[in-house]
Amino acid sequence: MLEIYDEARLANAGRYDLSDALEQGSIVHFPKSPVPIPEDDDLVFFREALPGLLKLKNISYHPEAGHVRGLDDADREVSERVTRVLVNVSEDIARFLQASAPALTDDWTVGTCSFRPIQEKGRDLKPHASNELVHIDAGAYGATNGDRILRFFINVNPADDRVWATKGRFPELYERYGSVANIRPDRVGAHYLEKGPLDHLRSGLLNGIASVGLPTAKVLDSSPYDRLMRRFHNFMKDTPSFQQATEGHQEFRFPPFSAWMVFTDMVSHASLSGQFAFVHTSIVRLANCRKPELAPYNILRESARTG
Ligand SMILES: [Fe+2]
């Protein structure tokens, strides 16, 4: 599942090598981050000052709104510094992805760029928000309608690895757990991916609100596909027997200043431990995938067709 790209392999990578690996459900790991790491004084500031200023789960730059969220009562200087660093990281990662996985970035949507200031191990979050439980990502980005969630991570802890676990990819997890999670057509009906009148009404309203100056309204949107994926996400986090299953279970360690990227709507994952990481999210068009049959949307659609 891990595809390791050191500097030499990355330098010789073909146009589709990285994007094909992602589409197949690999975690592409760069032992040395191919994206510049922020300056030392900024990193020290992020590590030392931001944990005490955290208001939300993470500190995130929202490009559609043009500002940072998650800082509690930050003064203007702090807020400007955090914004400057996160914008630089976001732009550097976007440039890298455009150069190294160009098949995926056409017409994409660049989402948030976050800093994770808190130790993941033992973090006291509600189960559905917990990163320590294995899950696929779903439902937190508005309506993807089957488009893909690509995330790029950089560990900026000076000493400690970031440790991940997985229990495998969506195709196998759906086969194994789809029925018990109530997301198969025999449980939810054969037309389960079709939008109803309420879906069209909601999307129309939210697009309207977004177009008159509140672009973040779009994250409230939903679709039958996104709700099914959310149901699967919740099933995973709510089911102790799934969390304890050894089938497909693997753990990975990402050392300081290494980076990795993965389709998190496809590859199940949990952050078992680690503190201080940048996380960049983008939404990739399903229409640009070269292996669309592996995408969760098409697996669900094929399942609806064949029963
Ligand atoms: Fe996740």
pLDDT along the chain (307 residues), means of 10: 96 96 98 97 92 81 86 80 95 97 94 91 77 88 89 97 97 94 76 71 67 63 86 95 94 98 97 96 96 95 80
The encoded tokens of residue 197 equal: 């009148």
* Angstrom distance (rounded) from CA 27 to CA 241: 25
Cα 12 to middle of ligand 1, angstroms: 30
Cα 135 to middle of ligand 1, angstroms: 6
Q: Which residues pair with 271 in a beta bridge?
A: 164
pLDDT digits 0-9 by tens, 137-176:
997 677 898 999 999 999 999 999 999 999 999 999 999 9
Burial of 287 (0-12, 13-18, 19+ CB in 10 A): exposed
Cα 192 to middle of ligand 1, angstroms: 24
* Angstrom distance (rounded) from CA 96 to CA 4: 16
Cα 136 to middle of ligand 1, angstroms: 6
Q: Which residues pair with 151 in a beta bridge?
A: 262, 281
Cα 89 to middle of ligand 1, angstroms: 20
Cα 269 to middle of ligand 1, angstroms: 6
Which residues make Cβ contacts (< 8 Å) with residue 283, sequence separation at least 6?
108, 109, 111, 141, 144, 147, 148, 149, 150
